[in-house]
Amino acid sequence: MFMSFDFRASIGARFPFRFIATLVMALVLTGTATIQPAFANEKYAGIVIDANTGKTLYDHQADNTRFPASLTKMMTLYMLFEAMKAGKVEKSTRIRFSAHASGMVPSKLGIKPGGSITAEQAILALVTKSANDVAAAVAEHLGGTEGRFAEMMTAKARQLGMNGTRFRNASGLPDSRQVTTARDMARLGIALQEHFPREFAYFKTRSFKFGKTSMSNHNRLLGQVRGVDGIKTGYTKASGFNLVTSVNVDGKSIVAVVLGGRSGASRNAQMQDLIARYLPKASRRGGGDLIAKTAPTDFADQPQVAGIAAIPLERLPVPAFASEPVTGTAPVVAYAPEPSPQAAIDEITTASTNARDGWVIQIGALESQQQALDYLQTAQSRATKLLGSRDPFVEVFVKGGTQYHRARFAGFASKSEAWNACAALKKLKYGCLATEIQ
């Protein structure tokens, strides 16, 4: 006779749920349980860096492209701290809200157009409330427009070695073109500590009172886990639950990143596990600043984003953006694999200066010619056997009043040869389409 058995019901009958939950957490914190369940989440990426030495103590998908969500505000704050250090902004400086800033969706302070807060209030609102309207107001104060400020943020990211990051806004509100990596977020966390040690103390603020409202920090590990002194949480549906955490205990210092958690609770549990496992492995001796100090952003001039070839960070991926579809084809989103600065492209010209025909492949459409050139160089150095003898070129086109730059390779003798090249590139996680130019 077959008999069914409900294991969960049996366990629940024998042991209270609270006891089971406590046991599971104890296993996690003591290292008896594994962190493998996090790997089952395709959005998950994580890293732990020894902030004294720069050594990577742990990483999982740390160089893969992810969405930053409100971790974006770490860079917004970096830019604000930089402006303060340069004497361009004081703590008492009033930051006014435009209709654009006031119109941001929550989380927000709710300041009406024409209203203002001090720079220090802005810092505290970003650290605790993660206020989107404040982020936009800071962006407009420093950059004139939020779009221009996002370009400045991206330029600063390149200077800091965050080669896998691109910003499109100051808040982290959803934008498929705004991307980062766990490694980049760790670099930014370390840079904030190294470059602004006094201002970094703001990140440990537990609550902020604005008017009659008291706002608690979203980082629930503050005050709960020994040594945690910041930094920032983030969430959107696309990103999952993100967290960057700084820990300093008895001379040991780490910065850990968890991206793409399924819930705030599971994200926090994963972070606690990483801290418990890897803080003991950190060094008490440092070798000086890990992130080179960069020149203050010139808020009077439009920033120029550094090219890939200028960034000596071989492990970091380069994000690309939605490519413009050729007639009759669907748009492709391309992601560049690990760049190598060794190979160089001798001559790349725009399509207008050198006519081409026959079959070509397109691996992306980017906003500037330099980005397209860098993207071609990365692809050619990554797939030398496939693309080494091909003819790289950039083709400029305009859509909706905006100029774009197609990154393309020519020199394919037939449709099948071009299609086979795309198939090979897709295995390297490139978007690719083949088309014939006549």
Could you give the residue numbers annotated as active site?
70, 73, 130
Cα separation of 312 and 305, whole Å?
Answer: 15
Residue 214 CB-density burial (10 A; 0-12 exposed, 13-18 middle, 19+ buried): exposed
Query: What is the sign of the dihedral through the CA atoms of 172, 174, 177 and 183?
Result: positive
Kindly state the tokens that stand for 152.
Answer: 């400045």
Q: 3-class DSSP state for residue 41?
A: coil
- Bond into 345 cis (ω within 30): no
Q: 3-class DSSP state for residue 338?
A: coil
Sequence-separated (6 or more) residues with CB below 8 Å from residue 330: none
Q: How many CB atoms lie within 10 A of CB 355?
A: 7
* Cα 382 → chain centroid: 23
Beta bridge partners of 58: 48
Beta bridge partners of 437: 358
Cα separation of 122 and 38, whole Å?
Answer: 34
Residue 271 CB-density burial (10 A; 0-12 exposed, 13-18 middle, 19+ buried): buried
Taking the C-alpha atoms of 203, 204, 210 and 215 in order, what is their torsion angle to the nearest 10 degrees? 110
